[in-house]
Structure 1
């Protein structure tokens, strides 16, 4: 199995949950925060994945990746932080509000 195939369920869940949460109040603020978070996580992933691969801490077999790389890191590595940046706030938006104890 290749890394792009492994990503499909994560991406699908992220898209579905994000679309469901788009119906909740605070959609614009949540999406802007997710975009900023994704940008920072992409930058951190680029720096640290490349450093770890350069240090030979791990490798990716060419037959399991798409072949598209950002530096030494396969582009697939960037999908996880982007999914998390959108998925976690969307899940939080879908959870019922907690009421303060009286």
Structure 2
């Protein structure tokens, strides 16, 4: 699979700073989009929606996953096959 070769061929998934997160996710989305699965009578195109969470402070894992999940659902709501980035600041509730 082309995506697998791309990642094994030197690609790294990780935290490269705020500016790069969206670019990395977009490159992954574009790689998947270029794939096609042979199917009887033609090919099936692949798409992917990605939700990226950005945080300030030290949120717990549940908060971070909730934010990424919200960004993912927004990507799907806006038509799929896209990357949405969500961010939040931690606030203290009285």
> Could you tell me the TM-score, scaled by structure 1's length?
0.32
Where is the strand percentage greater, Structure 1 or Structure 2? 2
Larger RCO (CA under 8 A, 6+ residues apart): 1
Where is the helix percentage greater, Structure 1 or Structure 2? 1
